[in-house]
Structure 1
Amino acid sequence: LFGTISYKAIDNYSYYSRASRAFGANTEQTFYTINYSDASKFKMELGVTQQIISDKVWFDGFVYAQRPELKSGSDIPFEERLGAEAVFSIKPVDQFTVSSWMQYIGEREDGSSPNTQTVDGYILVNAGADYKFNEKFGVYLKVLNILGQNYEVWQGYEERPFQIFGGIKVTL
């Protein structure tokens, strides 16, 4: 069981916000612009790590609550206040590990005023496998968003519903 409490005061924190443009009599939010402001992040995290079978089967999980705040007192746009992650891993032989994990990202505000909009939270189910040939070389495969959920990290930009990729690992 573990827990952490952290506070970060950040000078010139960069964040994105929606830009508004006028089209005739209508004003629409269009592209994103980068902004800089002093900010702070207060975060509390509680988690657990459990070896079910020593070095063969284990579980890690944590939940967190945070307050990402700009100096003006408003939330940092597109940063969640609540989140969680759980990972279950199996290592049948020393060189091979298979993992599955679930992520929860809570709802976020877009920070636009005066009509702040909310971006829904989402849950993703993912999986991966790693194989080590030796201490320096290995390969991996990851599958993200296995359930093909539709979700947005940024308002108006839907993420890919299913992703699969792999690669080579080199340890220097």
Structure 2
Amino acid sequence: MYSLRSHQAGDMGLIIQRHAVLYAAEHAFTAAFEALVARIAADFLDKFDAAREKCWIAEAADGRFLGCVMLVRSQDAGDLTTARLRLLLVEPEARGMGLGGRLIGECSRFARAAGYTRITLWTQRDLQAARRLYGREGYEMVQEEEHEKVGRRVVGEEWLLVL
């Protein structure tokens, strides 16, 4: 059993920490990935617009962190129709509970209500479980490119959901 809530003071630090620890252990991502997550979290806090952006925190009944996701405005100047899904994470103990799909679905619902017509996201080819969840929600992979932004060579993918 879990509940969802909006972000509170201290949550961004936890999001950064959990991404760094889990992705290092499960995918050999390095401090470069932790820095990337920290920049995303800092940008979210610096530019937060509650009418157009949101962060969901999933918690167990006892308050333990189980996962998170963010929906933010596109960084492209003047693009008011595109949102971006960021920093989806589901703790290992919460996998298989439908939490990942629920978090992605919350992003879609919020985006529609906020007037967005599409959502983009960036993921890595080797994150198979996340890719399956995005596909179930209706996202399609539209671009791929090799990079080292996570501290090792991977294939990054851009995905798009038309609302």
Question: TM-score when scaled to structure 1?
Answer: 0.26
Hey, which of these two has a bigger chunk of helix by percent? 2
Query: Larger Cα Rg: Structure 1 or Structure 2?
Result: 1
More relative contact order, 1 or 2 (CA 8 Å, 6+ apart): 2
Question: TM-score when scaled to structure 2?
Answer: 0.27
